[in-house]
Amino acid sequence: MSAYDYDLFTIGAGSGGVRASRMAAMAGARVGIAEEYRVGGTCVIRGCVPKKLLVYAAEFGHAFHEAKGYGWTAQNVSFDWTKLIENKDEEIDRLNGIYIRNLKNAGVDIFETRAVVKGPHTVHLVKEGRDVTAERILIAAGGAPWVDESVPGHELAITSNEAFHLERLPKHVIIAGGGYIAVEFACIFRGLGAEVCLVYRGEDILRYFDRDISVQVHEELKRLGVRVVTQAVFEKIEKLSGDEKRAYLSNGHHIDADLIFWAVGRRPNTAGLGLEEAGVALGRNGAVKVDEWSRSSVPSIFAIGDVTDRVNLTPVAIREGAAFAETEFMGRPTKMDYDFIPKAVFSTPPVGSVGYPEHEARKRFASVDIYKTDFRPMKNTLSGAEHRTLMKLVVDGESDRVVGVHIVGEGAPEMIQCLAIAVKAGVTKRQFDETCALHPTSAEELVLMREKFVPEMKIAP
């Protein structure tokens, strides 16, 4: 019997912490887990899951208009924000209950409290006012929205945490940022009928994606009626009367809105967690520094998920948690494999992407072939919707291996999940060509791209 209270104590019951804790407990370890907010973490409680429900709600908004071209007449259509939020909350409560049940069924002790690290084997449970000891401690505390506190009036704007609990649908929204959250919420609020303005400090939104994706999404946002202001940041936010606020921008303009939203990135949740005092080295933005086994600079303390700021996606945190449990409690040393992780942005239309963007592939491979197509999907012929679909293949010219697939268009995330299997398995462009098309679909275009894309050459006069 170990001298410690637990074999594993996990701080943070989000996707990664829950997966690691359950697997360790099912392998026979004595496991405790502390959560200061709600079991389920960002993804389930105030991230991916409620976001996707709001995305569905926004899509219905477009569907009513688009159905007209197909002969439908929808009368007295109205939207009830309160109803949507109530139904969403009910679903989140259900999922929260499942997460709690799964932990309990695996034999994990749940502590509803903030926990801080007091030493290599000691955790302090704040609400209970006592310490527990554990052979291993797992930090899975996730991340939190970052706000630029140097901007006067910054507190007048919300973050994604509050966006899921607004009392009413705003009429006019200004969103700062050009990443996942900014783009997704711009499309949600626009789809539900609000006027939306996106304020981005650079030129290309979604700049970590392939440049064709950035440009296409930028165009689609404009088609949707989202105003995109580039090369600007908030300088000051001021309260006007009622719910109205005014955002002053660095380009000299100002915009009024009843909701202002920070979506300028997230930071690891390590402040006040006692990590540095316990000897755990932190890196950029306070992220826990870990090795390939998710072990921190203190051998008994591990960290997984957004708190390590590696690849901040739920399925990655889950796999890091699983790899940790397999290595430490199941006798199967396992490292997380970060190659070819599929990504999606749930914009309107959405993005799906796996592998290298063209600009990264050109740095990595001696020769790169590009195939791309941009078309109006069949559904939009009668609906009159103007959204287009873009598909792009990035191919290593020497091996013929497809090393990147990037899509903007209806169904892109679903397509990319399947394509990621083939890309990870090393599929070649020739094997794409050998695959029979499935007609009529948008996805068939993926196996019908024969002509290499040759950029237009500017001929000197």
Chain residues in the site for ligand NDP (CB under 6 A): 148, 176-182, 184, 200-202, 207, 233, 263-266, 312-313, 344-346
Residues with Cβ within 8 Å of residue 341, at least 6 apart in sequence: 311, 313, 315, 316, 354, 420
Half-sphere exposure of 318 (CA within 13 A, CB side): 10
**Binding residue ranges:** 52, 177-184, 265, 306
Among this protein's residues, is 359 annotated catalytic? no
Nearer to ligand NDP, 149 or 292 (CB): 149
Q: Which of 62, 165, 253, 439 is catalytic?
A: 439
Least Å distance, CB 47 to ligand NDP, is: 7
- Strands, E assignment, 170-231: 172-176, 195-199, 227-229
Q: How far is the CB of 100 from ligand NDP (least distance, A)?
A: 24
Token reading at 373: 């197509």
Pinpoint the alpha helices (H) of 67-210.
Answer: 81-105, 160-163, 180-191
Minimum CB distance to ligand NDP smaller for 134 or for 163 = 163
- Residue set of the binding site for NAD(+): 177-184, 265
Are the C-beta atoms of 289 and 307 separated by less than 8 Å?
no
How far apart are CB 442 and ligand NDP at their closest, in Å?
Answer: 20
Residues annotated in the binding site for FAD, as ranges?
A: 52, 306
Q: Give the C-alpha separation, 40 to 99, whole Å.
A: 6
CA distance 24 to 52: 30
Q: By Cβ distance, which residue is nearest to ligand NDP? A: 179
Rounded-to-integer distance, Cα 385 and Cα 374, Å = 15
Closest to ligand NDP by CB, 117 or 188: 188
* Cβ closest to ligand NDP, residue 144 vs residue 448: 144
CA–CA distance, 49 with 267 (Å, rounded to integer) = 20
We find the least distance from the C-beta atom of residue 229 to ligand NDP, in angstroms, to be: 12
Question: Nearer Cβ to ligand NDP, position 136 or 266?
Answer: 266
64 three-state secondary structure: helix
Minimum distance from residue 263 beta carbon to ligand NDP (Å): 5
> Which segments within 25-125 are labelled E, that is strand?
31-34, 109-111, 115-119, 122-125
Q: Which active-site residues does the annotation give?
A: 439
